Amino acid sequence: MVSNEDEIIRKRQRERARIMGLLLGGFVILLFFITVAKIGINW
Amino acid sequence: MPATLMTNAAALPADWRDLLALTKPRVMSLVVFSGLAGMLAAPQLPPLALGFTAILCIALGAGGCGALNQWYEADIDAKMRRTAKRPLPAGRMERQTALHFGVGLSVFSVVLMGLATNWLAAALLAASILFYVLVYTVWLKPRTAQNIVIGGAAGAFPPLIGWVAATGRIEALPVILFAIIFLWTPPHFWALSLFVRSDYAAAGIPMLPVVAGVRSTRRQIFLYSLPMAAAAVVPWLLRLTGPIYGVSAAIFSLVFVVLAGRVLVNRATDPNGMGFEKHLFAYSVFYLFALFTALVADRWIAW
């Protein structure tokens, strides 16, 4: 029973870590484009 | 991990699908659409990256509101069939997770909006979040049948925020768009609350059909649809938009009033006999999408 629950926990942690990684990666790319746009406006 | 901690699903790390469900994605879609329409109707457009970020922030802010609403109303949601399967009442998540998630999303959306666009748009986003959570969810909803009338202001902010994110200014047209959604909210929600009123009654929420009765609610739906329809054509009458929007708004609003009229004359008290109410509720969602699509089409085709 416990090992089954352990498995569920690990699976959820893995999924959340993967999604968090994708979101952080996307955020970094977004920040890059925001910066470029801001520089463009100020020129 | 000790087996004693695993006696219920809430003790497990929250599933990401449940975190997503906390944001009420279906509600978010209408919020995002009206925010995008407000931005696209503005006389000037921001660079693509900034426009995208502004809409993302509106979506995240709406998601934060949804999470905080579900955190606060978990006990009430458990008593209603429509909401009993949500992550918190169903026991799939710890309550504190929803609180942290909601606060995190809300703060992040406001800060990012301020940094990417302007702080007036960020202030409006913060005001809409605080209004929805504190004024509507915490204060009005459990206390008065007018909850949705005043609380409707929270959902009316997105087009205004979209416009201000693009221009940095508050002008007449986005304020009228705010008024349209503000006046649209009561007939939209009251149509729904008519055929799920037993749910609201069971949860002790003083929605209008529970407090004032079915007949009075039908009258209020019709009466509110009149100023809503008038507000919808005001941008055309003030020459803030062209005929594409004006004619569309007049037709869509007329249909809305006719459907509200059918609700007015309906005498059914059982949800099974409330087909007219269900039609009005479904049409009200279409109405807002159609109205804002016409607004954007008018701006981009006619100007």
Q: How confident is the model at residue B10 (pLDDT cuts 50, 70, 90)?
A: low
- Say whether pLDDT at A42 is over 90: no
The percentage of residues in chain A with a pLDDT greater than 90, rounded to a whole number, is 63
Q: Do B49 and A36 touch (CB under 8 A)?
A: yes
- Say whether pLDDT at B47 is over 70: yes
pLDDT in tens, B230-249: 999 999 999 999 999 999 99
CA B266 remoteness from chain centre: 26
Closest CB to B12 among A9, A15, A30: A9
Chain B, nearest residue to A19 by Cα: B16
- Give residue B280's identity as a one-letter amino acid code: L
CA atoms within 13 A on the CB side of B143: 9
Does residue A11 belong to the interface with chain B, where contact is any CB pair within 8 Å?
Answer: no
pTM here is 0.90
Number of Cβ atoms within 10 Å of the Cβ of B155 = 26
Q: Do B12 and A12 touch (CB under 8 A)?
A: yes
pLDDT in tens, B80-137: 888 999 999 999 999 999 999 999 999 999 999 999 999 999 999 999 999 999 999 9
pLDDT in tens, B177-233: 999 999 999 999 999 999 988 888 888 889 999 999 999 999 999 999 999 999 999
CB B217 within 8 A of CB B190: yes
Beta-strand (E) ranges in A1-43? none
